[in-house]
Each structure stands twice: as C-alpha cells, then as structure tokens.
Amino acid sequence: MKYISTRGNYQPVEAAQAIRLGMVPAGGLFVPEKVPIFSQDTIYNMKDNTYQEIALMVLEEFLSDYQESELEDCIRKAYNEKNFTSDGMAPVLNLDDNIYIMELWHGPTAAFKDMALQLMPHLLLKALQKAEFSKEVVILVATSGDTGKAALEGFKDIPGIRIIVFYPAEGVSKIQEAQMTTTTGSNTYVVAVEGNFDECQNSVKEIFADRDFNSLISRQGYQFSSANSINWGRLVPQIIYYFAAYASLLRDDVISKGQKIDITVPTGNFGNILAAYYAYRMGLPVHKFVCASNDNKILTDFLRTGEYNLERDFIKTISPSMDILISSNLERFLFEITGHNADKINKWYDDLKNKGCFKIDDPTRKKIAGIFVGEYASETETKNTIKKVFRDYNYLVDTHTAVGIRVYQKYRQNLAEDIPVIIDSTANPYKFSKAVLDSLETGINTVNEFAILDTLNKISGQDIHRALKDLDKQEIKHYRNCDTSKIRKEIKDILNIN
Ligand SMILES: *Cc1c(COP(=O)(O)O)cnc(C)c1O
C-alpha cells in the first residue's frame, strides 16, 4: 500500500516512510492510495476474533510494507492486559434501547488517545529500523492536556527515541500537570512553558520550521518528529476499534449480518471520526456518522452550509479537548469524498490560509450530507446530560462523552427508524472531575482537584481510574520550566548540545 499527498505534491511512499515523515514535507497529509475492502463475510466472522486479531487484519491491509511478525510484535506490546485493564481493550456497554457506549479510556492515561499512542511508537520504531535510520529521533509535543501524557506513556523507554513535552504553565489542570510531571522513563522530558497554549504551540511549531536549528541538531545526530494526529501512524490504530465494536454487537445478537449502525463521535481534530469513516469505506455497515461538537461548532456549521469559516471567537469550554477551530484531519476526509481531487483541496486550503474560510461545491456538500450529520451541544446541555445520565442510568460520563450523548439525542428526534448507535466515550469521567462534579449539582463544593476524585467516588461508587489515583502522592520527576523564547535553549540543554 502506497501513501499519497492530499495536495498532490509528493511522490507515493510506503507506510513506514509516511509514519516517519509525519506529514508531507511540502504541506499536505498522507492518505492511502486505495482503501482496502473487507467482504461482509470477513466482517461478520470478526465476532469470533479477539481485538488483537482484528488489529492484525486491519494493520496488514494498510501497512503492507511491515512483516506480519513485526505487526504482531507491535500489537503484543501495545494491546495487552498491562496497558489496557479491560477485556477487549474498548468494551461496549448498553446504556439504553439501541444506545451503546464504546469506552475508549481503559488505557494508561484515561483518555482515548491511548488507543493510538500505545501502538504508534512501536510502528515508528520499526519504521526507523527499516530505513536503517542512524539518527536519534526527538519527538516534540506541545500539549494542552490529554495528548502530552498519552504521548509520554506511549514513547516512554522506546529505544532510539526521546520525547519532550511542552505544556503551558497556566493552561492545564493540576491533575493533568501531575500526570505529566510524575512520568517515569529514561527518555522522557517535560517542560512547563510560561504563557498560554497558543504561545506554547506556536513556539514549538516554529522549531519544526527552523532550518538552522534543525541542521544544528542534525549534525549532533538528532532528528525532530511529531506525534500528533496528522501522522497516519496515529490514525490507522483508530480504525481497529470500530470493527471490534461492530463485532461485539454481532456477538451479542444486537445486530445481524450486514445491519447498519449509527456512529456518534465527540470531535475536535476530526481524527477519530475520520477513522470511523475509513472503516465504513472498508465495508463496515454504517447508516450515519454523527459529528458532535461543543460551542466551538465550526464543524456543525460546515456540515450544514458547506462553508468552513474561521472568523469566530474561540470559546473555552468544559470539554477542552474539543476546543479546536482548525480540524486538521478534515483535509483527508475532503480528499477522500472528492475522489482524490488534489486541485480542489489546494484551492480550499489556500482560501483558508488567505481568507480564513472556504466553501465547498454543492455536489460535494450533498455527498457528505448523505452520510454525515453535524450537531453541537451547549455548555448547559452538556452539564444537564452528565446529571441526567447519572440519575437515569447510574453511569458517570465525562464532559466530552456528554457532548456526544446530547448531540445523538438531538439527531435521534428526527429519526424515523430505530437504528443501533455506538457513541464513543473518549475520556474517563475522573479525568475531568471538577466539571463532572459541578454538573451533578450535589451542593458539595470540594475545591482541591485531588480531593474531588474522592468526592466523586463517594457519590458514584465508580472506581477512580488507576491513572488518576494517588497522583498527588507520587514522586515528581520533572521540574523543568522556561520562557517561550528559551525553548531552543531548553532543547539543547536536554540533548547536551552547546
Ligand atoms: C482528543 C480528544 C477528542 C477529539 O478527538 P479528535 O480525534 O481530535 O476529533 C475528544 N475527546 C477527548 C477526551 C480527547 O482527548
């Protein structure tokens, strides 16, 4: 399987190279040249397969330049009982008639990013070995929370790779900060940066583009790379759980062979829902994709009008991992839905860069509307949903999952038929415990973030996720901090370069 650029500006490459490069050097994203297809028999028979077996089937199709034994090795290291404490990695539970919740947060950091970031570092390491790459890879991550810790856990102790995570000193919660600064591993570095997330992210982006600095570290035997969701190596692992979830519904006789389901995804960067779309293109029977947004509803507006318009305020919400205005993976989706029309992608993304907006043509908009629905949930709706779901089902959901559930309810009001739905639960409720406790309106007002975990535990009886338990009692391993203007110096210091 070869990978091509969404902008038509790069020669086709093998999967290992696409993963090593991250994004197309001249701009654009790598996508598979052709989407592989599973027969309905194959999909039906997945009900008898384990998560690891389904993983191998999916990865073999997309990563055909990897040996089967290499993929098996990566899968074994990522998807095991040590990393994921639940049978089947991502259990699907029945909330109500036809409503199924896929819990994607049983990994080491309590957010769905683990599903991909536990596997991707192993895929990258194999890619480096295949290329007989002699440099040591340094992963740079700017994070506002979830990605940083998930990347640290994924890359921890992977030979030949170091990871440096920068987070805004004022921009993450105490729990998120403690999750990062207590990370073990001999190749992990965590730096608090003075300033907000945008300043932190922009400074790191500048470093990727800084030629002089890149050649300086290259002479010392290092090469920068990134671990964010524009890398195909982060997207492909996410396709697996959609097949696994469908298989689980088959196994439980909820659906019959070939029966269509709805899929609802709380969306930010459009990575998770795009993975679901690839599963559909591979043959997964899907009726509609419900793209759920919070008050930053640029995708809802786009799916309704065909116009993607950045001219709007950025709103800080209680579902911060979805507070995104530029959904990077939408570019891949548009490339796919237009039948690989790089000219259109170039035009639209030039418009976005130059005018802050683009509008797709009507035939494309209609085609998307045939399979995608966009809706959003306000802050009040999100809080009410957390409260109501707990009251009605005795089940605690986090703020992102609540957005998904609320949006699904709105969509279902206009639905004539009864179609089973899988709603992605993207974070464990304890990860966003303050907002969850507030939403329950119990009148209890615990202020200390670590104490809130215990309060929530007493109210709900739900176990505190192991990643968040006793965090305040663990040893802090990382004390680095710097100013945005000193990030280069900090990197040189870490890499021992004068
Ligand atoms: C990253 C994240 C999302 C958004 O996922 P995308 O793939 O960026 O659309 C949603 N919820 C949580 C908890 C996340 O961490």
Query: Is 296 a pocket residue for ligand 1 (Cβ < 6 Å)?
Result: no
Query: Is 238 a pocket residue for ligand 1 (Cβ < 6 Å)?
Result: no
Q: Which residues of 350-373 are buried (b: 16+ CB within 10 A; e: fewer)?
A: eebeeeeebebeeebbeebeeebb
> Rounded mean pLDDT of 148-171?
93
The full DSSP string for 339-391 is TS-HHHHHHHHHHHHHHSEEE--HHHHHHHHTTEEEEE--HHHHHHHHHHHHH
pLDDT, the chain, mean: 95
Q: Residue 145 — very low, low, confident or very high, per pLDDT cuts 50/70/90?
A: confident
Q: What distance in Å separates the CA atoms of residue 477 and residue 494, rounded to the nearest whole number?
A: 14
Specify the residue with its C-alpha closest to ligand 1, atom 2. Answer: 321
Query: Is 111 a pocket residue for ligand 1 (Cβ < 6 Å)?
Result: yes
246 SS3 class: helix
Q: Residue 218 — very low, low, confident or very high, per pLDDT cuts 50/70/90?
A: very high
CA of 498 to the centre of ligand 1 (A): 38
Residue 260 is predicted with a pLDDT of 98
Residue 471 reports pLDDT greater than 80:
yes
Specify the residue with its C-alpha closest to ligand 1, atom 4. Answer: 268
% of residues, the chain, pLDDT over 90? 85
Q: What distance in Å separates the CA atoms of residue 193 and residue 190, rounded to the nearest whole number?
A: 10
Residue 228 is predicted with a pLDDT of 82
> Rounded mean pLDDT of 446-464?
94
Residue 382 reports pLDDT greater than 90:
yes
> Rounded mean pLDDT of 71-86?
95
DSSP 8-class letter at 394: S
Q: Ligand 1, closest atom to CA 146?
A: 15
Query: Is 275 a pocket residue for ligand 1 (Cβ < 6 Å)?
Result: no
Structure tokens that stand for 133 in this block: 């790459």
Best residue among 270, 272, 300 to mutate for probing ligand 1, ranked by most atoms within 8 Å of CB: 272
> Rounded mean pLDDT of 412-438?
95
**Strand order, beta sheet including 421-425:** 92-96, 99-103, 421-425, 261-266, 286-293, 372-376
**224 Cβ neighbours under 8 A, 6+ residues apart:** 137, 138, 139, 140, 207, 208, 214, 217
**205-209, 277-281, 376-380, 473-477: least confidently modelled range:** 205-209
Write down the pTM of the prediction. 0.96
Cross-strand bridge partners of residue 14: 2
Q: What distance in Å separates the CA atoms of residue 178 and residue 479, rounded to the nearest whole number?
A: 11
Query: Is 271 a pocket residue for ligand 1 (Cβ < 6 Å)?
Result: yes
> Rounded mean pLDDT of 285-310?
97
- Answer yes or no: are the C-beta atoms of 160 and 130 closer than 8 Å: no
Of 156, 143, 405, which is closest to residue 264 (Cα–Cα)?
405
Residue 198 reports pLDDT greater than 80:
no
Specify the residue with its C-alpha closest to ligand 1, atom 14. Answer: 321
> Rounded mean pLDDT of 455-460?
96
Residue 498 is predicted with a pLDDT of 82
Task: List the domains of the chain with CATH numbers.
Answer: 92-112+233-472 (3.40.50.1100)
Could you tell me the sign of the dihedral formed by the alpha carbons of 467, 127, 21, 194, in that order? positive
Query: Is 426 a pocket residue for ligand 1 (Cβ < 6 Å)?
Result: yes
Q: What is the 3-state secondary structure (H, E, C) of 188-241?
A: EEEEEECCCHHHHHHHHHHHHHCHHHHHHHHHCCEEEECCCCCCHHHHHHHHHH
Query: Is 400 a pocket residue for ligand 1 (Cβ < 6 Å)?
Result: yes
Residue 23 reports pLDDT greater than 80:
yes
Best residue among 104, 321, 329, 331 to mutate for probing ligand 1, ranked by most atoms within 8 Å of CB: 321
Residue 195 is predicted with a pLDDT of 81
pLDDT digits (tens, 9 = 90+) for 122-131: 999 999 998 8
